[in-house]
Amino acid sequence: MQSFDVRWRSLFLFCLGIAVATTFIMQWLASDFWLDDQKFSILGLELFYSKREVIDVLTQIKQPAKIALNYQLIFDFVFMTGVYPGIASLCMMVRGKIYNAAPRNILFALAMLQPVAWAFDITENIFLLNWMDKPEIGSEFSTYHNIVAVKWLIALAGIFTSIVLVIFKKRRRSR
């Protein structure tokens, strides 16, 4: 069983390294996210901007912001290789320390759903890259927003469930 834990921990640490390194690069690129005198964000494009606002950003964006956004989306593919396997390994590490069947099954399900979130993140980036080339957004915008929302829901559920169960287990052990 020790080997099982060591492997998940090793994968988690490797993935964390990829995620942290690419986060620094993407944050540096985001410093160029300006549309005239207004700053825009990748999270805004993903979750918060309306269809009109996304179209405005993608049609009015100038260099170097356009180049930075393009590189940001490319580096996001690398970031994904750290995040989703990392979340899955976190779920599996916590699962290895829990003995109750229901939380173990939930953690296993959340770990197995991470490739779905990863696929949705890839799809999201493809939407944005295509729209950057040809900023004509049709009826697929609601599909795009649903994909993004489900991606975030799956990823955050894996993270928060793992953290909550670790805290709960530590509190029970300290009593």
Query: Are 118 and 142 contacting, i.e. CB atoms less than 8 angstroms apart?
Result: no
* Structural domain harbouring 87: 2-174
- How many domains, in total, are found in the chain? 1
Give the model confidence (pLDDT) of 142-166 as tens digits.
Answer: 999 999 999 999 999 999 999 999 9
Nearest of 28, 27, 59 to residue 43 by alpha carbon:
27
* Whether pTM exceeds 0.85: yes
Q: Give the pLDDT confidence of 83-109 residue by residue, as tens digits.
A: 999 999 999 999 999 999 999 999 999
